[in-house]
Structure formats: C-alpha cells, structure tokens
Structure 1
C-alpha cells in the first residue's frame, strides 16, 4: 500500500535556493561523518592502508552515500537536513520517489557538482526553480508549511 504525498495544504511552494543550500550543507556534514565513521571501521579491520585506497573501497563509499540518501528520499522525501529546513523532495505529481528516480537524482546531482555546480545553479535560470537532477528524475523540492501550534 503506497501512501500519497499529496497534501491538502494550499500553501506548499517550490523551495527557495537558500533553503535548499541550507539543507544541502546540513546533509553534507552528516554524510562526511558517515564516511569518516565507515572508513574508520574498515581501516581498523585491515592492517595495510592500501585496502582502503582502491576503486573497490571508493565504490563502497559511493554506494553507501546513495543508500543513505535514497533511504530518506523513498521513505518520507526528507533527508535530515531537509527535515530541519521543512523541505521535501517529491515527484512532480506529488508522490514518493522510487528507486530509479533516486538513482537518477543521485548520479545527475554528482555530475552537477563535478560540472562546477552548474547543475545546481540551473535553479536560478529555470522558471520552475529546478536543478539538473530535478529535471532528470522528474522531481522537485517543495517547502512545507509551518505546523500550527496548538495552544492548551
């Protein structure tokens, strides 16, 4: 049973680039910590430092980051950084992402960074404020409204 992301909020809007940057920085700090811990654990298991320098280890880290991000994107559309900034990634129809969309989003996002960030800067040119990885995966990042505080 798939739950829909479609909300009854009338004030959901496309996320601003500044909020997206804030969430990105927050998530990068978490990802760096994840990479440091996993590298430390694997390094302790090997006596030689060469075991953690090859393409196999780099592939492991690449897949680890993908699994980390896609877990959150498919689960509720929010990484921890996005949660802090009240952002959510969803399909353009307002649904959850599937594994193919997560993979496209991840790979094109990395290519965007390798291109000097041009794929991210694209949101300033795009009328829909979409990055290259948004366009490639059929997704967009929305800003969720503040929840009303209940006074008791």
Structure 2
C-alpha cells in the first residue's frame, strides 16, 4: 500500500457525521416523494421502498467517491477514499465497496470490528473492494 490507512477513531467519527448526511438524503429523497405519492393513493411495497433507499444511497456514495474520493463528512475530517494502488477508485470498486458495506455494517458491525484485527486496520468492505481511506491532512 502506498499510503497508510487513516486511524480507526477518525473514520468512526466520520461515519457518525455521515449518518447525519444520510438521514438528510433519506428525508429529502425518500420521505418527500412518499408524501407526494400517497396523495395519489399510490403506495410502494416494502421491497420497493428498500430498493429505493439502497439505490438513493448508492447514487450518493458512488458519485461522491468517483468525483474526488470524498463525501462531505470525509472532506470535513480530511479523509479520502483511494484504491490500494494509491490512485482514484474505479466505478466497479465504488459499487463493490458500497454493496459490501451494507452487510458489513448491518450484521452487528462485523466489518467495522474487522479493522481491529486487520493487519492494515482496514474495514472489511475496504478489504473486499481493494480500497482504503487515507488522511489528506
């Protein structure tokens, strides 16, 4: 690896900030359309609702990672997502990282705890996607 992975505490605090941004995105991109659709007596099935959430967040994260390697909280905490080779990540890596992060986080944070035992301190979804979060400070 050309650069060392940013510290786990810093990445976890960044994830906390990220949850606030994600909440806002879901509020605007999910709740408001649902209110409008309910006015027309149109209801999405639970599967369609989950698909909407997954695709909405996929668009946010993949776009941010492919356009500068940073989300707004990552910019605030001076973190950047790069490939293990030190270059910008490829679209397939961004999608793979996003998809791998779901079970990594939802299954009791197993992919986050992985960093405690990983030789480079990487989260499981970063290991799977061939990416790493580095400090820009």
Same-fold status (TM-score > 0.5)? yes
Aligned counterpart, 1:16: 7
Between the aligned partners of 1:26 and 1:89, the Cα distance in structure 2 is 16
Give the equivalent residue in structure 1 for 2:69: 77
Could you list the runs of 5+ residues in structure 1 that have no partner in the other structure?
1-5, 7-11, 146-152
Structure 1: 4+ residue segments shifted above 6 A: none
- Give, in angstroms, the shift of residue 114 of structure 1: 2.1
Map 1:90-109 onto structure 2 (within 5 A). Answer: 90-109=82-101
**Larger-gyration structure (1/2):** 1
Which of 79, 96, 112 is the aligned partner of 2:104? 112
Contact 2:30 2:52 in 1 (8 A): no
Q: How many residues align?
A: 135
3-state SS of paired residue (1:140): strand
Q: Which whole-Å CA distance do the structure 1 matches of 2:90 and 2:9 have between them?
A: 26
Give the structure-2-normalised TM-score. Answer: 0.90
Aligned to 1:143: 135
Quick check: 2:29–2:56 contact (8 Å CA) kept in 1?
no
Within the candidate set 18, 22, 40, 1:27 is matched to: 18
Structure 2 unmatched runs, 5+: none
Match of 1:39 among 1, 6, 30: 30
1:144 Cα offset (Å): 1.3
Superposed CA RMSD in Å reads 1.8
- 1:5-33, CA deviations, whole angstroms, 9 ceiling, x for partnerless residues? x9xxxxx6320011001111111100111
User: How far 1:41 sits from its partner (Å)?
Assistant: 2.1
Q: Higher helix share goes to which structure? A: 2
Query: Per the alignment, in what secondary structure is the counterpart of residue 82 of structure 2?
Result: strand
Say if 1:13 and 1:144, in contact at 8 Å, map to a contact too: no
What TM-score does the superposition give when structure 1 sets the normalisation length?
Answer: 0.81
Superposed CA offset, 1:61-94 (max 9, x none): 1101011011111111111111111000100111
Find the residue that maps to 2:118 and give its secondary structure: coil
